[in-house]
Amino acid sequence: MILSDKQILAAIEKREIHIEPFRREALGSNSYDVHLGPYLRVYATPVLDARRAHSSSLIKIPPKGLFLIPGVLYLGVTEEYTESHAYVPFLEGKSSIGRLGIQIHATASKGDVGFCNHWTLEISVLHPVKIYAGMPIGQLIFFTLGDSATMQYYAQPKAKYTHRDPLPIPSMYWKNFEGI
């Protein structure tokens, strides 16, 4: 079941969902709009190896906006820090963003119960498009679980993205191969 606006507000009051900063006007009938943070990260090399960490550059989006170009993976981040301790959060792009040819994630739309962080966005564009820090970029949808989770994300030994960070976090997939 997807939570309604009333259920999202009730879950916030019960501290089962935390959104910081919380903007009442960002609450839709069954979702919450998240906004693009001020930084993007791009990898320094065009070829990546899944078993290696890669250097990257941080770009601050200027007040006048920044043009994104096709063929580049931009790691963005939400302004909002979120926690969900009783619900499964899904992050979907806003339809207006999709109609501009902007995709906000390659594969990672589902969060886990116990995910506590800003959302890293895997942004790609179909044609050049100008973006701005603070623009609504996606919407969080919260689903109920059939039962409580045995172990929340932040408590899992193999969880890689648990350090609170307002900057886009590059892939840590390479950590799966440590010690091999």
pLDDT for 173 equals 73
pLDDT mean over 143-167: 74
pLDDT for 162 equals 67
Confidence of residue 110 (pLDDT cuts 50, 70, 90): confident
Q: How far apart are CA 122 and CA 29, in angstroms?
A: 26
Is 178 considered catalytic here? no
Q: Are 38 and 133 in contact (CB under 8 A)?
A: yes
Q: What letter would DSSP give residue 46?
A: S
One-letter amino acid at 49 equals D
- Lowest mean pLDDT, pick from 39-43, 63-67, 84-88, 126-130: 84-88
Q: How far apart are CA 113 and CA 101, in angstroms?
A: 30
Which sequence spans correspond to the domains of the chain?
5-46+56-146
Q: How far apart are CA 16 and CA 11, in angstroms?
A: 5
Is 0.75 topped by the overall pTM? yes
Question: Each residue of 6-26: pLDDT tens digit?
Answer: 999 999 999 999 999 999 999
Into which CATH architecture does domain 5-46+56-146 fall?
Answer: Distorted Sandwich (2.70)
pLDDT for 109 equals 84
pLDDT for 133 equals 98
| Bridge partner list, 27 | 32
pLDDT for 112 equals 83
- At residue 115, φ and ψ (nearest 5 deg) are -70, 125
In 39-153, the DSSP E strands lie at 39-43, 56-60, 66-68, 74-84, 87-93, 102-103, 116-125, 129-131, 136-144
- 69 against 111, higher pLDDT: 69
Question: How much is the mean pLDDT over the chain?
Answer: 90
pLDDT mean over 35-51: 94
Of residues 16, 20, 83, 122, which has the active-site annotation? 122
Residue with tokens 């886990």, as numbered in its chain: 112
3-state class (DSSP) for residue 72 = coil
Q: Are 42 and 98 in contact (CB under 8 A)?
A: no
pLDDT mean over 110-132: 92
Is 147 a residue whose pLDDT tops 80?
Answer: no
